[in-house]
Structure 1
Amino acid sequence: MVDFATLPIPVVPYTPACRPGIGLAMTSLSELRRRHCSDVPTTPHRLAFHQVTLVGAGTGEITIDSTRYPCRAGSLLWIRPNQVIQFAPGPDMDARMVMFTETFPLRLRAHMGMLDDVLRPSHWQLHDDQLATFERVLDMLQEEFERPDQGLGEDILKHLLAVTLLHIDQICRSQGRGLARQESPSHENGELFLRFRRELEHSYRTTRLVEDYAAALNCTPRTLSRACHSVVGTSAKDVIDARVALEAKRLLVHTDLPVGTIARQLGFTEVTNFGKFFARRVNMTPGAFRRGADAGD
C-alpha cells in the first residue's frame, strides 16, 4: 500500500525569515527572488503550511494536484499542506503571499473548517470590487505583521487572519464554487461535516458507501447528506467520490504503479470498475490522464 503522503516529493518546511517565533509570515514573490531564487521552487513540491497568494502583476500558471490554473492580476490561490504544486511564474509576475501553520488560525464556526479542505477550490479570479476589498484586508494584515510587537501582536494577527479567511469564504459563496450559495449552515451540520471529512480521510481506501460513514458517525445517511448539502452544496456520495478521485489522480501522476494496483489500493475489486469510476469523475480514462500528465511535464 502506497500512502501518498510518504511519496518522495519534496516538502518545503515553514521557515519564515521574519518573525520566526509565530505561525504566520508575509512576503512577496519579488522579495523571494531578491533573497534567493531557490526560495521559489518550480519543480513539483508540497508545502508543510498554508499559503494564500494574491497575484498583483504579470502572468504565469500554477498546477495544484494535477489541475492547471492560469495566473494574472487578481488571481487568488490557496495552497493547502500536502497538495502537490508546480509553480511557473512569468518573469514579470509579482504576488503577495500569506503563509501560516495549520495550528495558527483562530477556531471559527464549524463550516469554516472546510475552507482548508483539499477538496475545495484553490483558485479564484477576483473582479475589481472583490480585489480592492481583499487588498485592503491584506494591507491591514501586512501593517500589523511589520509593526513591532507590543504584547498583543500575535493575537491581533490571528484575528486579522480570520478576517482574511472569512473574506475568502465570501468570495467562494459569491462565485458559487465549492460552497453552497445559501445561509451559513447550522452548527450541527457544520460539526457533522467536519467529523465526516476526518472519517473520510481514514476510510476512503476501504469504503465508498455513504451508509458506512453514517454508521461510523452514528447518524442516518439522510442526515449526513443533508449536512453535506448544507456545507458544500453537494451529496455525501459526491464528497466521497471526489476524495477517491483525487487520490487516484495523485497516484497516477506521481507514481509508476500499474492502474490495476492503484485500483486495488483504492478499494476496487475490478480494474474495469475503477476505470468506469475514474472516467465518470475525470472525463477520461486513467491511462489517458497519466499520459496527459506526462506530456505536460
Structure 2
Amino acid sequence: MPATPYEDRDAFGRVPGYRRAMALIGQPAGESGPPAPTPGWAGVGTVTLRELAARQNLAAARRSDNHVLVLVTVGHGQHEVDFRPYPCRPGTLIWVRPGQVIRFGGNAGLDAIVVCWEPAAVAEVADDPVLLDGGLGPACWQLAGEDEDAVINEVSQLVVDCQRQRSGTLAAGLLRHQLAVLLLRIALLPGRAPAERNDAYVRFRLEVEKDFTRTRRVEEYAERMGYSVRTITRACLAATGRSAKQVIDDRVTLEAMRLLAVTDDPIADIGRRLGFPEPTNFGRFFHREAGTSPGAFRAAQKAGPRLPNQRRPGVTDPHGRPAPRVGGEA
C-alpha cells in the first residue's frame, strides 16, 4: 500500500513547484505574489502548510480566486473560513471556494497538505453547483474509516504527480482527471444538509450570487426565476430558517466582511460597491447585521485571528444557512 501523508512525512517535505501552488492560494493584503505559472501548467498545485508558514503570515486573512482544499495531517489547531473557526486534527478536510476568506491556523506542530486549483481545471464536474459553490457546499469534514483512506490515497497520488508532472498536455490531463476523481469522492461523503437538496433555494442562491451588489429586492429575483415571492420565501425558510430577504442581506453582509478584512479600501467605497450610495446607510446596515460597525470589524481583523461575535446566535452562518456541520453529520 503506498505511503500516506500520515505514514511518511518525508514524501511531502519539499514539493517542487510550490511557488506555483502558492500563486493559486492568494496573498494577504499588501503582499506580492509568486511568479505566474509556466505555460502548459494544469492549473493544479500542492503545497504543505509548513512551507506556506515559512514564507507567508498565516495569521493574515486572504481571499483566493481559486479553490483551496486543506487536509490536516499532523497536530491540532484551527482554520477559519469566512470568519467561522473549524477545529482541526489529523483527518480534518476543509474546502475553501473561490471568493471565500481563509485564515490558516499557525499552531505549532500543525501541518496539512494544501491542494489548490483554478475553477476551469475541473470543468467536467462543474455541473454540480452545490459541490463547487462556496455558499452551498459543505466546508468541513472529519474523515474516518474507508472515507478517510480513500481521500488520503487520492491526495497522496495527486501530490506525487504534481511533483513529477510539471507541464504538457498529457501531464495536465492527468492532474485534472485525478483532481476530478478526488472531488467526486468528496461529493459522495455523507452529510449534505437539506439546504443543499432544496432546488428552489439553490436556484435562488445562485441568482443572488450573480446580482446581490445591484439589488436586494426579493421581487426582482422571483420574477427572473418565474417563482412567486411566497415560494422563494418558503424555500429559504425550509432550508435555513431565514426569509428570502434575510438570505440576501446575509450575503451582502458577508461580502462586506470579506472586503473589510482583506482590503484597505475606504469603507465608503465598499458601501458603494454593495449598493449603498450613502456611507451612513451602509454603516447602519452593517451594524444591524453584524453587531458592530464596519470600522470596528476591520480593526478586529487587523488585530489578530480571533473575531468579534456576531449579534445573531450560532444557528446560522453568514450565508444565512444552518451552521455547517463538522464530521459528515447528517
Question: Fold match, TM over 0.5?
Answer: yes
| Residue 68 (structure 2) pairs with residue 51 (structure 1) | yes
**Distance (Å, rounded) in 1 between the aligned partners of 2:154 and 2:91:** 14
**Distance (Å, rounded) in 1 between the aligned partners of 2:86 and 2:119:** 24
**Distance (Å, rounded) in 2 between the aligned partners of 1:109 and 1:49:** 14
**Distance (Å, rounded) in 2 between the aligned partners of 1:151 and 1:261:** 43
Relative to structure 1, the CA distance from residue 12 to residue 276 in structure 2 (aligned partners, 3 Å threshold; closer, same or farther) is: same
1:27–1:97 Cα contact (<8 Å) kept: yes
Which position in structure 1 is the counterpart of 2:48? 28
**Distance (Å, rounded) in 2 between the aligned partners of 1:132 and 1:213:** 43
Residue of 162, 168, 175 corresponding to 2:180: 162
Structure possessing the higher relative contact order (Cα contacts under 8 Å, 6 or more residues apart): 2
One-letter amino acid of the counterpart of residue 88, structure 1: G
**Distance (Å, rounded) in 1 between the aligned partners of 2:289 and 2:157:** 41
Which secondary structure does the structure 1 equivalent of 2:98 belong to?
A: coil
Which position in structure 1 is the counterpart of 2:98? 81
* Cα distance per residue 1:51-94 (max 9 Å; x no partner): 11101001343333333333322222222334333323233222
2:66–2:116 Cα contact (<8 Å) kept: yes
Which position in structure 2 is the counterpart of 1:99? 116
Which position in structure 2 is the counterpart of 1:193? 203
What's the offset of the Cα at 1:46? 3.0
| Residue 285 (structure 2) pairs with residue 286 (structure 1) | no
Which position in structure 2 is the counterpart of 1:108? 125
2:40–2:172 Cα contact (<8 Å) kept: no
Which position in structure 2 is the counterpart of 1:117? 133
**Distance (Å, rounded) in 1 between the aligned partners of 2:37 and 2:45:** 6
One-letter amino acid of the counterpart of residue 44, structure 1: A
2:59–2:304 Cα contact (<8 Å) kept: no
**Distance (Å, rounded) in 2 between the aligned partners of 1:14 and 1:233:** 45
What's the offset of the Cα at 1:250? 2.7
What's the offset of the Cα at 1:249? 1.7
One-letter amino acid of the counterpart of residue 213, structure 2: R
Which position in structure 1 is the counterpart of 2:142? 126
One-letter amino acid of the counterpart of residue 285, structure 1: T
Which secondary structure does the structure 1 equivalent of 2:119 belong to?
A: coil
Relative to structure 1, the CA distance from residue 70 to residue 164 in structure 2 (aligned partners, 3 Å threshold; closer, same or farther) is: same
Q: Percent identity at matched positions?
A: 32
**Distance (Å, rounded) in 1 between the aligned partners of 2:40 and 2:237:** 40
Q: With structure 2 as the length reference, what TM-score do the two structures score? A: 0.62
**Distance (Å, rounded) in 2 between the aligned partners of 1:10 and 1:225:** 42
Relative to structure 1, the CA distance from residue 250 to residue 46 in structure 2 (aligned partners, 3 Å threshold; closer, same or farther) is: closer
**Distance (Å, rounded) in 2 between the aligned partners of 1:256 and 1:104:** 31
Q: Which blocks of at least 5 consecutive residues in structure 2 are unaligned?
A: 1-27, 306-330
**Distance (Å, rounded) in 2 between the aligned partners of 1:151 and 1:165:** 21
Relative to structure 1, the CA distance from residue 9 to residue 60 in structure 2 (aligned partners, 3 Å threshold; closer, same or farther) is: farther
**Distance (Å, rounded) in 1 between the aligned partners of 2:237 and 2:269:** 33
Which position in structure 2 is the counterpart of 1:206? 214
Q: With structure 1 as the length reference, what TM-score do the two structures score? A: 0.68
* Deviation larger for 265-274 or 204-213: 265-274
Cα root mean square deviation, aligned: 4.4
**Distance (Å, rounded) in 2 between the aligned partners of 1:127 and 1:223:** 36
Which secondary structure does the structure 2 equivalent of 1:88 belong to?
A: coil
Relative to structure 1, the CA distance from residue 155 to residue 295 in structure 2 (aligned partners, 3 Å threshold; closer, same or farther) is: closer
**Distance (Å, rounded) in 2 between the aligned partners of 1:70 and 1:37:** 22
One-letter amino acid of the counterpart of residue 174, structure 1: G
**Distance (Å, rounded) in 1 between the aligned partners of 2:129 and 2:63:** 21
| Residue 249 (structure 2) pairs with residue 241 (structure 1) | yes
What's the offset of the Cα at 1:168? 2.9
